[in-house]
Amino acid sequence: MCGRFAQAQTREEYLAYLAEEAEYDIPWDPAPIGRYNVAPGTKVLLLSERNAQLHLDPVYWGYAPGWWDKPPLINARVETAATSRMFKPLWQHGRAICFADGWFEWKKAGEKKQPYFIQRKDGQPIFMAAIGSTPFERGDSAEGFLLVTAAADRGLVDIHDRRPLVLAPEAAREWMRQEVTGAEAVEIARDGAVTADDFIWHAVSRAVGNVNNQGPELIEPVE
């Protein structure tokens, strides 16, 4: 699964990997986003396409339609999202990208759980596939977005058996295109995913477990 991540750079640093300036309608903001501990239930900057241009909206991380009587869902499995009754409309019409520096997972270590920060080896940002309820700009506080997850493989399995579906920049741009069909999005998810070999991870402070904690020290390695 993916239940916590870091989104700390400036929006321009993420956008530079995805599109030319003419392709997006996003106000310039030189300030770093500065969120080192993004948690579900908060509004997160989400990138999506409207009228052939990319837009950035603060969207609630969670999905709980009116009839849903359980806690909001935060993840959707790539293996079933495209065909499930609940997620198929979102997969077809609500694809988006959540950019980040990396994500956190917890691994049991004796009596406690040790958090790890997982990021790309080459230092590039990650572009996590998301689906949600559109239009995103309406700011709904119940029907927001979910991160798409895939089965972890290779060394990542040692940390957790699920991981966010991270797409290469070119695939991430295609994923958001409105003319792309649900079936084509399945192919993008399969062929455009970044492999486990492209990631590294390190143990971090347990302070990340408190959603109120923020700061670059949360992603720094600990012994």
What pairing do the DSSP bridges indicate for beta strands 126-132 and 166-167? antiparallel
Catalytic residue among 2, 49, 98, 174: 2
Q: Name the H helices within 74-165.
A: 88-93
Q: Is 105 a catalytic residue?
A: yes
Residues in the chain: 223
95: exposed, middle or buried (Cβ count in 10 Å: 0-12, 13-18, 19+): buried
Distance (Å, whole) CA 45 – CA 148: 16
What 17-20 contacts at long range (C-beta under 8 Å, 24+ apart), as own/partner pairs, is 17/124, 17/125, 17/127, 17/169, 18/47, 18/54, 18/97, 18/99, 18/127, 18/169, 18/172, 18/173, 19/54, 19/173
Catalytic residue among 49, 98, 105, 174: 105
Comparing CA positions, the residue from 204, 208, 207 lying closest to residue 220 is: 204
Distance (Å, whole) CA 35 – CA 41: 14
Residue 124 near residue 17 (C-beta atoms within 8 A): yes
Comparing CA positions, the residue from 160, 171, 73 lying closest to residue 129 is: 171
Q: List the catalytic residues.
A: 2, 105
